[in-house]
Structure 1
Amino acid sequence: MILKFDVYMHMLDTYRKIHMYLPDDYLTSNKKYPVLYMFDGHNLFYDEDATYGRSWRLIDAIQRNGKEIIVVGQECSHEGNDRLNEYSPYPFYDTHFGSFPGKGEATMNFLIEDLKLYIDLHFPTLSDRKHTWIGGSSCGGLMALYAVFKYSKVYSKAIVLSPYILPTLNMLMADINETYILHHTAIYLSWGAQEGDGMHEFVMETKGCTDLANLLLKKGVRIHFHVKPLGRHCEEDWEKESDQFLSFLMHES
């Protein structure tokens, strides 16, 4: 089942809608479930909620694979370019949209201090680090990557799809170098050859992802790579990976 409700973001002084998947029998099963927190929650489940009319259709994948999991999706801001601002942990410049101070830390504060506390209080979760995961695509992929190394005490695994890393790559690298990452941290990292404007952009994305991965591997992080020769930057293609990343999450490591 899908629940939709608003949760207050203290540091940004606003409410944000949550799109949440729960097993249909969660009230009667007497089970507790692992939780996957995700960015762009409106794009996860129903096409009618999705920004471009096509969702990840994640319910189908969860039920097809028989996965017992809770998914909590935070809807992004739809005001102007606020999504770019709220989904970046660092200041950056984008050639199409301009300069942004980056409010990603405020977003992470919401996820950990507001949202996770609310979810653990009201729903049957396995609240420990081992069973708490985070995921996203594009800017959400950047945030999921940041979250799992910066807040590895909270999250043990991350789903990082087509991450928007190039404008903040140097800051990411420096931050990873300076951060202690807990053992048993793992990342599913994917990107596609047809996401940008040409092969040059794919080469740059591949180099950036590879450089980050090599640094994370040196810090003891386990990484599952999925490079897609026909991969595009869209919900339809991220849906095609759902069987793989759900298996990655549920596999004991």
Structure 2
Amino acid sequence: MTQFHEQRTIHMYLPDDYLYSQKRYPVLYMFDGHNLFNDEDATYGKSWNLANQILWNQKELIVVGQECSHHGNDRLYEYSPYPFADEELQAMGEGFGEGTMNFFIHELKPYIDVHFPTLSQRETTWIGGSSCGGAMALYAGMRHNDIFSRSLVLSPYLIPTSEYFLLEADHTNFVGPSSFYISWGALEGSSKHAFVQETKIVTEIANRLLKKGAHIQFNVKPEGAHTESDWEQEAPVFLNYLFQNE
């Protein structure tokens, strides 16, 4: 990552026959790549099991997951596009999310498009993540909708930066059809009040994006928790969303 003077592991899923099928595939870029595929790589010992979910749901795509920083609160700063403060996490920072997006757009995507059989156009370039990564996927789908046409926004971490996201939605102009899958659960925060807050924020952002012509699909989960196990269970729904015709 040139801007941060760091190197990061990239975790990828490729169809088994990609070397000889002569097919080209849509690409889903994701945050927290270490949590996607293997339990032994995952921060809390449980992954999304995403490779098997893709196979079981018979989807053909490439997934490119960027591993986050594991130093202190650096992940929070790299995966926030705006200044934020969170007393519970004892974190306060400027937010370097746009620098992260510069890496995705100007370094990672060009490399992937050169070295792998991608469908590189906007319509088949997607982005997704959960928690801070979900917030980044929402941001990317707004600020960089010339690159990404579909965003998977799972359990987004929005409360500390909600006003910035609302302003971003107001200033977003879509260059083509843009879609957002947004999910969150009632058991994610420390209280029911957090769920009410999250619901209010997400709904208001979505309303503003709908006025701009975006397609939105909500998935509100009454028993949803903020865990990799929950996002794994959700995989059939969001994978189908990526491939559905609007």
TM-score range, shorter chain: over 0.9
2:156 pairs with 163, 172, 176, which one?
Answer: 163
* Counterpart Cα distance in 2 of 1:187 and 1:171: 18
* Counterpart Cα distance in 2 of 1:200 and 1:177: 26
- Post-superposition CA distance 1:92-136 (Å, at most 9, x none): 111122311100010000000000000000000000000000000
1:36 pairs with 28, 31, 35, which one?
Answer: 28
Please tell me whether residue 132 in structure 1 is matched to residue 92 in structure 2.
Answer: no
2:18 maps to what in 1? 26
The Cα RMSD (Å) is 0.7
User: How many pairs align?
Assistant: 245
2:144 maps to what in 1? 151
Structure 1 outlier segments of 4+, above 4 Å: none
- Letter paired with 2:60: E
* Counterpart Cα distance in 2 of 1:163 and 1:45: 20
Q: How big is the shift at 1:251?
A: 1.4
CA contact (8 A) 2:172 2:212 kept: no
Q: Give the strand-richer structure, 1 or 2.
A: 1
Q: How does 1:147-226 map to 2 (within 5 A)?
A: 147-226=140-219
Equivalent pairs: percent with the same residue? 58
Please tell me whether residue 246 in structure 1 is matched to residue 239 in structure 2.
Answer: yes
- Post-superposition CA distance 1:44-102 (Å, at most 9, x none): 00000000000000011100011110000000000111000000000111112231110
Gapped runs of 5+ residues in structure 2? Answer: none
Q: How big is the shift at 1:183?
A: 2.9
- Letter paired with 2:107: D
2:62 maps to what in 1? 70
1:94 maps to what in 2? 86
CA contact (8 A) 1:183 1:221 kept: no
2:7 pairs with 10, 15, 25, which one?
Answer: 15
TM-score normalised by length of structure 1: 0.96
* Counterpart Cα distance in 2 of 1:112 and 1:120: 11
- Post-superposition CA distance 1:159-215 (Å, at most 9, x none): 000000111110111122122122310000000000011111110111011111111
SS at match of 2:3: coil
Gapped runs of 5+ residues in structure 1? Answer: 1-8
CA contact (8 A) 1:183 1:220 kept: no
